[in-house]
Amino acid sequence: MPIMKKIQSLGTLSKIAIGVVIGATLVGGVATAAGQFSGAVVNACVDNSTGALYANAGSSSTVCPAGRSAVTLGSGSGIKAIVPKIEPSVVTVNVTASDGTGDTGSGEIIKSDSTGSYIVTNNHVIDAFAQDSATYKLSVDLSDGRNITATIVGRDTAYDLAVLHVSTPNLPAIAIGDSSTLSIGDPVIAFGSPLGLDGTVTAGIISSLNRPVTTQSDTSNTQSYVDAIQTDAAINPGNSGGALTDSMGRLVGINCAIASLNGQSTSGSIGLGFAIPINEAMRTVNEIITSPTHTSTRPVLGVYFDTSYTGVGAKISQLVTGDPAALAGVPIGAVITNIAGTRIPDQETAIVKIRSYAPGASVSITVTLPTGGSKVYQLTLGSAPSNS
């Protein structure tokens, strides 16, 4: 397929090929887990207008306030109850060339009012259109079958995110969850249009959290960094940009990558899928929507890494004067081995971990000093335009 990503080595033990949902390669090690939704029953209420789900906590009653309908989650009928509420918020994203060829991805409506609606997807889904709008056109298919021309509000190549806008007003927006509350083993549901099959739903669990994934676009040669959610929910080419929700139907991730066995040029689901955590994504999305220039920012440590270093950790080869690492007194030649409690085996992991924070966040880094021994530095991350 023409829209591709390359994922770099993450320095782990076993080797697999990982690709974006529209195909790719990578080296990394992952662990998988299989599972289904538990038989536990949770009562909830669905807002009849927005489709948002609300827990009916501490009660076995299915009585809901006015304007909301009762559903039972976690039982065999749980997913069936959620899907009709979420599907109207999920769209198919089409990038179509003048000769009729092209690709499809997925997206979700995250905000809508009387003036129009905002949709989130992956940057790599719309990258060909962004590079050559004379050759390609951009549109979205709604769940009711309507095809609508879309425009790009803004995009962030570093986080593989893009915000689209359609003039259609008052569309149902998906409820936003909290990815910081996720745990390994939590049930999740993936929505999207794999291989152009719109309205596809799959389910699984969270297999791992904070999985470092780096990707590179074949279209524009830009690199993205994701502190990813790993899931065994089936994700396939075309799911890129689609919703990963929790068991209450709240958006917790943006599907962005899948894995294949080493050496395969095309990828299909083998139970190894990856998503951008929604807390990380929404910081960028909100900046793109609210910024006068429709741009976003990224956090800055202010170091360059030694790409020839083959030891454990990320070796600093250069400091940027006036940036956080230099101001904190971190020396050139120091090797970062830990960031905020996360072990850092290589420079890719260091970059992914730093990029998971917002500008202005306070972060501790542990380094092995050039003179021997280790030291912990506490510093405040700076800010820079994300696409620079």
Q: Of 89, 117, 207, 240, which residue is the catalytic one?
A: 240
- Two structure tokens written together for 192: 């999207």
Residue type, 200: T
Q: Are 46 and 14 in contact (CB under 8 A)?
A: no
Helix (H) or strand (E) holding 62: none
Active-site annotation holds for 160: yes
- The separation between the first and the last C-alpha atoms of the chain, rounded to the nearest angstrom, is 28
What 8-state DSSP symbol labels residue 173?
A: P
What's the CA gap between 212 and 240, in Å, rounded? 18
**Which residues have CB under 8 Å from 131's CB, separation 6+?**
219, 220
Annotated catalytic residue, options 103, 106, 117, 124: 124
Q: Is 30 helix (H, G, I), strand (E, B) or coil?
A: coil
Helices (H) then strands (E): counts for the chain: 5, 27
Rounded CA-CA distance 158/154 in Å is: 13
Backbone angles phi, psi at 267, to 5 degrees: -120, 145
Instruction: Give the burial class of 36: count Cβ atoms within 10 A of its Cβ; 0-12 exposed, 13-18 middle, 19 or more buried.
Output: exposed
Cβ proximity of 166 and 180 under 8 Å = no
| Active-site residue identified among 160, 218, 232, 246 | 160
124 φ, ψ to 5°?
A: -65, -20
Told to judge if 240 belongs to the known catalytic residues of this protein, a careful annotator would answer yes
Q: What is the DSSP letter of 286?
A: H
Query: Any catalytic annotation for residue 124?
Result: yes
Question: Could you give the residue numbers annotated as active site?
Answer: 124, 160, 240
